[in-house]
Chain A
Amino acid sequence: MRMRTGHLGGARAFVLHRPHPAIQPLARQLHVIGLEVREAWPELPAEAVASDFVFYDADMAHEAQFPWAAGAAPMPMIALIASEAPGRLRWAMAMGAHAQLLKPVGGKGVYAALLVARSNFDRTNEAVARIADLESRLSARQTVVQAVMIFVLRGKSQGEAYELLRQTAMAWRVTIEEAAERLVATHSGEGRSDDGKRLDLA
């Protein structure tokens, strides 16, 4: 689906750059596009955390000026680049540039940078969320295997063990992963020394 066109109205942007003619048209253009703009230098104030976009100087800024760690910006970030020296570019990327504008900044490219940055930011966040979800499912799968093994050690076949786990989950009205987690926790909490009554639900 294409991005809706009207979403930038009322958005807030911080510009972390010392006052300089090379970025003067930026504030004007952001204002025309409908954003509220605040300029900051040398410190990006804590309330910048709540802003919708941050533009930052890739030439003179450093990490300590940001109220968050490198790469952990909670909004789309746009690097303002003059020097294309690899060291500065590496720093700009490490800070987490979602888009860039070349200095001197003119009227052109600002709107595109906003949309590209927001799209990259959203995509990165979606990817991070999906990875976290997959990781938790992966670890849940290991727990399921452990729970099945508990039954297997008590003499069930693998198929029977899984069926037992499934029935347990149904009886408890939880997911199989959650049931497995409880079973494993109970089992290990008892130091694997009980007689298996509590687990033998069959």
Chain B
Amino acid sequence: MKRNLSIGVLHSARGPYAVLGRAARSGVLRGVAEVNADAAFDVAFSVVESDPEGRLDRYAPLCRDMLRNAGVRHVFGCLTSSSRKEVIPELERLDGVLWYCAPYEGFEASEQVAYMHSCPNQHLLPLLDWAMPTFGRRAALVGSNYIWGWEIAQIARERIGAAGGEILSDRYLAIGDTELDHLVAEIRALRPDFIVNSLIGESSYTFLARVAGLRADLGEACALPVLSCNFTEVEIGAAGAAAEGLYSAGPYFEAAAGGLGSFAETSRLAVHELARLLRGNAGGETLPLAQLLAGAARQGRPSRLDPDTQHARQPVVIAQLRGGRFREVLRLPEIAADPYLSRRDRAPLARPMLKVVS
């Protein structure tokens, strides 16, 4: 007999990043359907849903309403750091837990958050460590003008500098900006060995198209590989053929074309993770996440979430977009998240398990 629990879903199915919000939301709903249908779990979830429509000031009130009035303790939602930071005070006040299923820039470890996706030591750093010996050490950085773009660039500058590489340019564009003439002219002149692209949305798609044009102009001598830690499967359609050749890093890539990508998959797994933590643990949903994790560890079924940081262990996959889908280039073993990058110098990256280079 399953007991029924309400969980919250706080994803933007409308608004500027609706394509990502809808993917993550689908992942949550798929996870809920699977858990509810699986007799091995003693919980069934029903979903309480609100749509912030990508508007930052709607996240906190909608989250508060779920926690206060809908009997919800666990919320699956938010895809941006700014929205996550909006809801954390509500979670603190009302004992809620946010299951956050998108990559982020690190430097946070709230006790109210389960960080299910990845942070820079699980995406950007391994990607750079692979890219520098592969392409060369002269890099151009380009990003959207907000915390993700800035912090990715900051970490990239340090890593590339420490490896003896060189940052040829470092540019930021307002979110949504597609005026790229200056940027493209600079890249044409500098011909970097690779480009780290932390642009989001339309800026990114336009940029990829312009770089594809540059490649065609400059010929084979100038490959201009583009690296991105935030480009996902659901954007392939929007970016079109110009995105072909893009390299990305993350915990998961969809093997088949047309998949929803890592935000959805991580969200689906997050629902399973909660169901596992609550198994045989009536009332467990009201416990702080740290206690749920400690309890699971005591019972010999440790969570994917590290009990110290509440960040997920993840494999590191580097993949390239070819023929409209991501193909794995390199897979590294699972590593623990290091949100404050304080352990990276003591624990060099693990050696690759296998190399699949076309």
Contact = CB atoms under 8 A, between A and B. Distances in A.
A6 B157 CA distance: 13
B309 A32 contact: yes
B110 A9 contact: no
Interface string A1-17: 01011101110000000
A19 to B, nearest CB: 18
SS of B interface (majority) = loop
Interface stretch (A23-31, A37-45, A66-74, A127-135): A23-31
B111 A28 contact: yes
B154 A8 contact: no
Given A4-B158, A10-B346, A106-B92, A34 B110 contact: no
B308 interface: yes
A44 B318 CA distance: 48
B155 interface: yes
A32 B340 contact: yes
Contact of B340 (A2, A4, A33, A107): A33
Contacts of B109: 29, 32-33, 107
SS of A interface (majority) = loop
Nearest to B157: A2
Interface string B328-344: 00000000001111111
A29 B290 CA distance: 13
A108 interface: yes
Contact of B111 (A9, A33, A107): A107
Interface residues of A, number: 19
Contacts of A106: 92
Interface string A109-144: 001000000000000000000000000000000000
A5 B308 contact: no
Nearest to A106: B92
B111 A111 contact: no
B107 interface: yes
Interface size class on chain B is 20 to 34
A106 B343 CA distance: 22
A34 B338 CA distance: 9
B308 A6 contact: no
A29 B344 CA distance: 18
Contacts of A9: 340-346
Interface string B86-111: 00100010000000000000010111
Nearest to A29: B109
Interface in B146-163: 154-155, 158
A113 B155 CA distance: 20
Contacts of B88: 108
Contact of A111 (B112, B340, B345): B340
Contact of B107 (A10, A25, A31, A111): A111
B111 A5 contact: no
B308 A31 contact: yes
A29 B92 CA distance: 15
A102 to B, nearest CB: 14
Top 3 closest A-B pairs, CB basis? A34-B342, A9-B342, A32-B109
23 contacts: A2-B154, A4-B158, A5-B155, A6-B158, A6-B341, A6-B342, A6-B344, A8-B340, A8-B342, A9-B343, A9-B345, A9-B346, A29-B109, A32-B308, A32-B309, A33-B109, A33-B342, A34-B338, A34-B343, A107-B110, A107-B112, A108-B88, A111-B340
